[in-house]
Amino acid sequence: MQVVAIIILLFFCKTAEFRKTNLGSSRSKAHNGRTNNGRRASSTVKRYAPGLPCDVYTYLHEKYLDCQERKLVYTLPGWPEDLLHMLLARNRIRVLKNNMFSKFKKLKSLDLQQNDISKIESEAFFGLNRLTTLLLQHNQLKVLTEEVFIYTPLLSYLRLYDNPWHCTCEMDTLISMLQIPRNRNLGNYAKCESPRELKNQKLKQIKSEQLCNEDEKEQLVPKTQVSGRPTVVKPEADSSLCHIYVFPIQTLDCKRKELRKIPSNIPPDIIKLDLSNNKINQLQPKVFEDIHELRKLNLSSNGIEFIDPAAFSGLTNLEELDLSNNSLQNFDYGVLEDLYFLKILWLKENPWRCDYNIHYLYYWLKHHYNVHYNGLECRTPEEYKGWLVGKYVRSYYEECPKDKLPSYPDPTDQDAEDDAWEKIHRDHMAKKQSVRITIVG
Ligand X SMILES: *[C@@H]1O[C@H](CO)[C@@H](O)[C@H](O)[C@H]1NC(C)=O
CA distances from 228 to 23, 189, 221, 222 (A): 59, 16, 15, 13
Neighbours of 334 (CB within 10 A): 18
Number of residues in the chain: 441
State in angstroms the smallest separation of the CB of 376 from ligand X: 16
State in angstroms the smallest separation of the CB of 294 from ligand X: 13
State in angstroms the smallest separation of the CB of 15 from ligand X: 45
CA distances from 74 to 67, 94, 295 (A): 11, 9, 36
The interface region with ligand X, picked from 182-190, 221-229, 318-326, 414-422 by CB under 6 A, is 318-326
First-residue to last-residue Cα distance in the chain: 94
Burial of 343 (0-12, 13-18, 19+ CB in 10 A): middle
* Among 181, 107, 170, CA closest to 144: 170
State in angstroms the smallest separation of the CB of 368 from ligand X: 18
The interface region with ligand X, picked from 8-16, 129-137, 139-147, 298-306 by CB under 6 A, is 298-306
State in angstroms the smallest separation of the CB of 326 from ligand X: 7
Sign, CA dihedral 200-190-315-240, equals negative
Q: Which of 114, 163, 298, 350 binds ligand X (CB under 6 A)?
A: 298
Nearer to ligand X, 200 or 277 (CB): 277
Q: Which of 303, 381, 406, 441 binds ligand X (CB under 6 A)?
A: 303
Q: Are 339 and 363 in contact (CB under 8 A)?
A: no
Residue 440 three-state SS: coil
Edge-to-edge strand ranges of the sheet holding 109-111: 55-59, 62-66, 85-87, 109-111, 133-135, 157-159
What is d(CA 338, CA 86) in angstroms, rounded to the nearest whole number? Answer: 37
Nearer to ligand X, 208 or 277 (CB): 277
Give yes or no for residue 313 binding ligand X (CB under 6 A): no
State in angstroms the smallest separation of the CB of 193 from ligand X: 36
Nearer to ligand X, 186 or 336 (CB): 336
The interface region with ligand X, picked from 3-11, 114-122, 285-293, 317-325 by CB under 6 A, is 317-325
Q: Are 55 and 79 in contact (CB under 8 A)?
A: no
Site residues for ligand X, 201-260, by CB under 6 A, read 255
What is d(CA 83, CA 362) in angstroms, rounded to the nearest whole number? Answer: 50
State in angstroms the smallest separation of the CB of 266 from ligand X: 17
Binding mask 267-296 for ligand X (x = CB under 6 A): ---------xx-------------------
State in angstroms the smallest separation of the CB of 254 from ligand X: 11
Give yes or no for residue 350 binding ligand X (CB under 6 A): no
Q: Are 288 and 262 in contact (CB under 8 A)?
A: yes
Please give the size of the binding site for ligand X, defined by CB under 6 A.
11
Nearer to ligand X, 78 or 263 (CB): 263
136: CB partners within 8 A, 6+ apart: 112, 113, 117, 158, 159, 160, 163
Neighbours of 99 (CB within 10 A): 12
Q: Which of 322, 342, 345, 378 binds ligand X (CB under 6 A)?
A: 322
Nearer to ligand X, 155 or 287 (CB): 287
Give yes or no for residue 325 binding ligand X (CB under 6 A): yes
Binding mask 103-142 for ligand X (x = CB under 6 A): ----------------------------------------
What is the SS3 string spanning 180-202? Answer: CHHHCCECCCCEEEECHHHCCCE
Peptide bond into 50 cis (omega under 30): no
State in angstroms the smallest separation of the CB of 302 from ligand X: 6
Under the rule (CB under 6 A), what is the footprint of ligand X? Answer: 255, 276-277, 298, 300-301, 303, 320, 322, 325, 346
